[in-house]
Amino acid sequence: YLDRGKSVTNALKNILGATCQICGWEGFEKSDGDKYIEAHHLVQVSEKVPGSLCTENIILLCPNCHRKIHHGREITVSEESNFLVISSLEQKRRIHRNTMSHLSSLAH
């Protein structure tokens, strides 16, 4: 069994909402009432790198953007200080890394 950080993902969903951090898609309601959104690990959990389950390594994505990052050439993710730069053919977007200091500012 490989822990994929479900508790960290749920904490992010509680603070950020179930919204794709790239395109803004809002997750649909599942049969259990929870909103569906996927967690993308910038450094794959399977690499077993320390910190891979922390908030800074996870972004919340819709299924479409998640698949594009893994399988397409349309979206790239690069790092710039406390931001991630999401680049696609249509747009370039900077989003805050999900650092604890950034998340704390949103929770208040």
- Percentage of residues in the chain having pLDDT higher than 90: 24
Q: In this structure, is residue 18 part of a structural domain?
A: yes
User: Which pLDDT score, from 0 to 100, does residue 25 have?
Assistant: 94
Number of domains in the chain: 1
Of the two residues 49 and 92, the one the predictor is more confident about is 92
pLDDT reading at 37 higher than 80? yes
pTM: 0.75
Asked whether the CA dihedral 65, 71, 74, 79 is positive or negative, the reply is positive
Q: In this structure, is residue 1 part of a structural domain?
A: no
Taking the CA atoms of residue 36, residue 1, residue 55 and residue 51 in that order, the dihedral angle to the nearest 10 degrees is -160
SS3 60: strand
Which residues constitute the domain of residue 97? 6-107
User: Which pLDDT score, from 0 to 100, does residue 31 have?
Assistant: 97
Of the two residues 61 and 72, the one the predictor is more confident about is 61
Of the two residues 66 and 50, the one the predictor is more confident about is 66
Q: In this structure, is residue 58 part of a structural domain?
A: yes
Of the two residues 72 and 69, the one the predictor is more confident about is 69
